[in-house]
Chain A
Amino acid sequence: MIKIPNIPESVVVKHGPKAWPLGLVGAGLLIIGSLLSWSYDPQVLGDLSIRFNPGGLQIMAIALGLVAVILLLTDKGPLTSLGQWADTALALRALATWALLFMTMVLVAITLEAGGLVNIEPGGWISFLGAVLLFAASRLVLPKETRDLAQARLPGWAEILVIVALMAAILFGTAHALGLTDAWEFVLFLMLVTGLVITGVRAGFLSWLGHVTTRHKHVLMLAAFTVAFLFPFTQNGSDANMSIASQVLIFAAAAMGLNIVVGLAGLLDLGYIAFLGAGAYVGATMSTSAFATIGWKPPFFVVMLVGACVSGTLGLIIGAPTLRVSGDYLAIVTLGFGEIFRLTMFNLDGNNGPNLTHGPNGVPAIPDLTFGSFNFGDTHTLLGIPLARFSNYYFLLLVLIAFIILVFARLNNSRIGRGWVAIREDEKAAEAMGVNVFGLKILAFVVGAFLAGLAGTIKAHQDVSVTPDQYIFLESAFLLAAIVLGGMGTVAGVLIGAVILKLLPEKLRFFADYRLLLFGLLLVLMMRFRPEGLVASRRRQLEFHEEDEELAVRVEGDIAEVVT
């Protein structure tokens, strides 16, 4: 975040009334400039050189301008009734800051890509000037009292419509982002999204959305899954993005399983990837691959169960002796377990013990899944849209994720979930109140391992081969990072974390070399500024802010809303 400089009060009072017209002029210039041409060079950044035919980046700038106009009109004008609820002053500040950043980046990008400032056409400068004026105006807008958004109600159908619209926006946004081949365009699109999200947070729109989604939980789930289901249909049969998407889903499935251990039970597991690996190895060695070492070839459904049970048993074996120790000790033991698993798989090659895994070569050439006559490797056509191999796996993984979310949410919201919270809060007191502390910890460990095992068996088929080096410590660390980044103990948080950690490196190849450095930096910043993660569970947020009385009063209603 950019730090907002303090404007002296005298300046604000004197020039405050000018803020509104100034802002409108700025937003207007931003939009008008975007309708003109930005660059002489039609080759760079999509084509930004045609007048009255805005390219991708120009449409983004127009979107920013329109949101600014709407915010200004809630302050004075036809939308003032909306202005009672939304904190437009703060929102406008955030929006203007990001608009200015956006336009600056655009000019930098044109300069770098086309070779020199001369390539910027007047349209670009006009838009930039608009962003500057908007920025200046936003600093002069006076903050105001707003009403509590938790009280804001729309008719039920309208709220559902908002959820549907939001989901549709996510669908098209994701499809659009994945379609962007140019790194600059992708980064700028991310900036737009970040800017709009922060504006939404500042305006209070997101907290209102939080209340709406709590009121219509089932609609939200349904809409989210419909959107996820529709996603492959936006790809026109191309499998490139679906490959990334199904990788993201595998990662998200594993992260959600880990979230039961970390987010709900509060245990630190640094070797979780081993459970995914156990499932994958079961899936591989029981497949019909020529290199599979187990002769029994039951239907895949049985293989999934076997994989999950093997994984769960491993969880039990590793958990039973170690869950009596707490905190750091547990982290070290699980870290060790992850390495033991990898080295064991590495060495079960026939030279040291039985030949189960072909050692470092792993099990290659795992055939695609077949359910009856449905082969996951084939391209199927539905409603005239071809759906290729990765789309098929994507749908299967979607079902798996739905199951994992069900397990996660229902356990969280039960006697067992309450026990986990109690253990996180005060283990001694929980024990003294009759909570089976040890049993619940084991349960979290085993359920987490079981779910990872399920995901692993699918992963084996999707990846075609299973080798020990897919299950290194770094992968466990990434899973944990997805949870910490996204938010402990929430489904949405982990999904967002998984998308960020898996999708960004795929789209930003140039950034691959610095991936670890940047993620490390990101995590440090998160720990400093928002330790509970992007989409935190309310209770987790409170746990991270024990001294914050004001926060506790504010979120009390939210927690009670979930309980009752």
Chain B
Amino acid sequence: MTVTAAAVAAKAPARVPLLQAEGVVMRFGGLTAVNNVTMSVNEGEIVGLIGPNGAGKTTFFNCLTGMYKPTEGHVRLSGVELPPKPRAVVKAGMARTFQNIRLFANMTALENVMVGRYCRTSSGAFTSIVHGPKFKREEAETRERAQELLDFVGLGTSTDHLARNMPYGNQRRLEIARALATDPKLVLLDEPTAGMNPLETRQASELIFKIRDSGLAVVVIEHDMRFIFNLCDRVLCLVRGATLVEGTPDEVQSDPRVIEAYIGTGTDDDDAKDTP
């Protein structure tokens, strides 16, 4: 842990952070993909996670969201330990998107978002079959909320389009809308601008700010440095599974070790190709 990180921690208020990951270790056999990473996210904060390819960013995300069971360490949301089960994590209030878009391709945009509402509704088989009052209420609410979220991410006119027929940028937005449908306190976005042109990237920043302004915290994995340094309140740089630097965008941007990790020193340039 660096001096800058300690300074940030000291500045932070004494209350419990929204997300607190402590000493997370993930080993696959002999390979340590994530090595003792500690991260905390406060309410209404945008935190960036950067690092060269293979640094363990996505693996760390998978540990946070319960897709992997960390070998060591704890993940707490609002002070409550999260079980390593994706469904429980979503229910607790943390939703994610995927690096490779994983929408339900043959469902419409609206249906995709409606699936996101699954964990906040509880109509069972019986009420669904008899069309009981609970079913009717929840179905109407689900539909309304899904449409709201589509409007929120700017897909209000694509409601009836099949996910697989949508342009790439819109698919990314739809994935975010689906994650938001689970009523999260925190969303984890895994490379939300991968493959986007500059205009789409700018729109993505605006969307993330909008999400933050609606009261959620956001963690973003990104390769696009300009994007991340404009966006984030704090940035965490992972290299070879371990935290290299944590701090404000300015601090991280000017840190020689980050530059070295990305560009290399000339003698050790195996990561140079990852420079954005």
| Residues of A that sit less than 8 Å from B by CB | 406-407, 410-411, 414-416, 418-419, 421-422, 425-426, 428-437, 443, 447, 539, 542-543, 546, 549, 552-553, 556-557, 559-560, 563-564
Q: Are A434 and B160 in contact (CB under 8 A)?
A: no
Further contacts, 18 of them, CB under 8 A, given A542-B162, A563-B160: A414-B128, A415-B123, A415-B142, A416-B124, A418-B107, A418-B115, A422-B115, A425-B105, A426-B103, A429-B102, A429-B104, A432-B67, A433-B115, A433-B116, A435-B118, A435-B119, A552-B106, A556-B161
Task: Provide the bound-state CA to CA distance between A428 and B104, in Å.
Answer: 11
Task: Provide the bound-state CA to CA distance between A560 and B165, in Å.
Answer: 13
Q: Are B125 and A416 in contact (CB under 8 A)?
A: yes
List B111-146 residues whose CB lies under 8 Å from chain A: 111, 114-121, 123-125, 128-129, 131, 135, 138-139, 142
Q: Are A414 and B119 in contact (CB under 8 A)?
A: no
Task: Provide the bound-state CA to CA distance between A430 and B105, in Å.
Answer: 12
Which residues of B lie under 8 Å from residue A430 when comparing CB positions? Answer: 104, 115
Which residues of A lie under 8 Å from residue B273 when comparing CB positions? Answer: none
Give 9 closest A-B pairs by Cβ, nearest first.
A434-B119, A560-B160, A434-B90, A414-B128, A429-B102, A425-B104, A542-B106, A432-B86, A422-B115
Known: A406-B129, A433-B90, A433-B118. A426 touches B104 (CB 8 A): yes
Closest to A564 in B: B160
B65 at the interface (CB under 8 A from A): yes
Q: Are B125 and A443 in contact (CB under 8 A)?
A: yes
Interface residues on B, range: 35 or more
Binds A, one of B34-42, B91-99, B209-217: B91-99
A to B CB contacts below 8 Å, 25 in the list: A407-B129, A415-B117, A415-B121, A419-B115, A421-B107, A421-B115, A422-B107, A425-B105, A426-B102, A428-B67, A429-B104, A431-B87, A432-B90, A433-B115, A433-B182, A434-B91, A434-B95, A435-B118, A539-B106, A542-B162, A542-B164, A552-B165, A556-B162, A563-B160, A564-B110
Task: Provide the bound-state CA to CA distance between A403 and B118, in Å.
Answer: 26
Task: Provide the bound-state CA to CA distance between A552 and B106, in Å.
Answer: 8
Task: Provide the bound-state CA to CA distance between A432 and B187, in Å.
Answer: 12
Task: Provide the bound-state CA to CA distance between A430 and B103, in Å.
Answer: 9
B171 at the interface (CB under 8 A from A): no
B185 at the interface (CB under 8 A from A): no
Task: Provide the bound-state CA to CA distance between A407 and B95, in Å.
Answer: 32
Which residues of A lie under 8 Å from residue B90 when comparing CB positions? Answer: 432-434
Closest to A435 in B: B118
Which residues of A lie under 8 Å from residue B124 when comparing CB positions? Answer: 416
Which residues of A lie under 8 Å from residue B164 when comparing CB positions? Answer: 542, 552
Which residues of A lie under 8 Å from residue B107 when comparing CB positions? Answer: 418, 421-422, 425, 539, 559
Which residues of B lie under 8 Å from residue A431 when comparing CB positions? Answer: 86-87
Q: Are A422 and B162 in contact (CB under 8 A)?
A: no
B108 at the interface (CB under 8 A from A): yes
Known: A539-B106, A560-B160. A418 touches B118 (CB 8 A): yes
In whole Å, how far is B227's beta carbon from the nearest beta carbon of chain A? 24
Which residues of B lie under 8 Å from residue A434 when comparing CB positions? Answer: 86-87, 90-91, 95, 116, 118-120, 182
Closest to A422 in B: B115
Q: Are B108 and A560 in contact (CB under 8 A)?
A: yes
B178 at the interface (CB under 8 A from A): yes
Closest to A450 in B: B125
Known: A410-B131, A552-B165. A433 touches B125 (CB 8 A): no
Which residues of B lie under 8 Å from residue A447 when comparing CB positions? Answer: 125
Closest to B109 in A: A560
Which residues of B lie under 8 Å from residue A426 when comparing CB positions? Answer: 102-105
In whole Å, how far is B84's beta carbon from the nearest beta carbon of chain A? 12
Which residues of A lie under 8 Å from residue B95 when comparing CB positions? Answer: 433-434
Q: Are B129 and A563 in contact (CB under 8 A)?
A: no
Which residues of B lie under 8 Å from residue A435 when comparing CB positions? Answer: 87, 115, 118-119
Closest to B129 in A: A410
Task: Provide the bound-state CA to CA distance between A542 and B163, in Å.
Answer: 12
Task: Provide the bound-state CA to CA distance between A560 and B162, in Å.
Answer: 8
Which residues of A lie under 8 Å from residue B128 when comparing CB positions? Answer: 410-411, 414-416
Q: Are A415 and B129 in contact (CB under 8 A)?
A: no
In whole Å, how far is B93's beta carbon from the nearest beta carbon of chain A? 11
Task: Provide the bound-state CA to CA distance between A102 and B207, in Å.
Answer: 64
In whole Å, how far is B88's beta carbon from the nearest beta carbon of chain A? 9
Task: Provide the bound-state CA to CA distance between A410 and B126, in Å.
Answer: 10
The interface bits of chain B over 67-92 (1 if a CB of A lies within 8 angstroms of the residue's CB, else 0) are 10000000000000000001100110
Which residues of B lie under 8 Å from residue A557 when comparing CB positions? Answer: 160
Closest to B184 in A: A434
Task: Provide the bound-state CA to CA distance between A557 and B159, in Å.
Answer: 11
Task: Provide the bound-state CA to CA distance between A144 and B87, in Å.
Answer: 54
Closest to A425 in B: B104
Task: Provide the bound-state CA to CA distance between A15 and B159, in Å.
Answer: 50
In whole Å, how far is A117's beta carbon from the nearest beta carbon of chain B? 55
Closest to B179 in A: A433
Which residues of B lie under 8 Å from residue A433 when comparing CB positions? Answer: 90, 95, 115-116, 118-119, 178-179, 182
Q: Are B125 and A428 in contact (CB under 8 A)?
A: no
The interface bits of chain B over 153-175 (1 if a CB of A lies within 8 angstroms of the residue's CB, else 0) are 00000011110110000000000
Q: Are A563 and B108 in contact (CB under 8 A)?
A: yes
Closest to A440 in B: B118
In whole Å, how far is A199's beta carbon from the nearest beta carbon of chain B? 30
Which residues of B lie under 8 Å from residue A556 when comparing CB positions? Answer: 108, 160-162, 165
Closest to B127 in A: A414
Which residues of B lie under 8 Å from residue A407 when comparing CB positions? Answer: 129
Q: Are A563 and B110 in contact (CB under 8 A)?
A: yes
Q: Are B115 and A552 in contact (CB under 8 A)?
A: no
Which residues of A lie under 8 Å from residue B65 when comparing CB positions? Answer: 432
Which residues of A lie under 8 Å from residue B179 when comparing CB positions? Answer: 433
Task: Provide the bound-state CA to CA distance between A564 and B138, in Å.
Answer: 15
Task: Provide the bound-state CA to CA distance between A431 and B118, in Å.
Answer: 11
Which residues of A lie under 8 Å from residue B110 when comparing CB positions? Answer: 563-564
In whole Å, how far is A260's beta carbon from the nearest beta carbon of chain B? 11
Closest to A541 in B: B106
In whole Å, how far is A122's beta carbon from the nearest beta carbon of chain B? 57
Which residues of B lie under 8 Å from residue A549 when comparing CB positions? Answer: 165
Q: Are A419 and B125 in contact (CB under 8 A)?
A: no
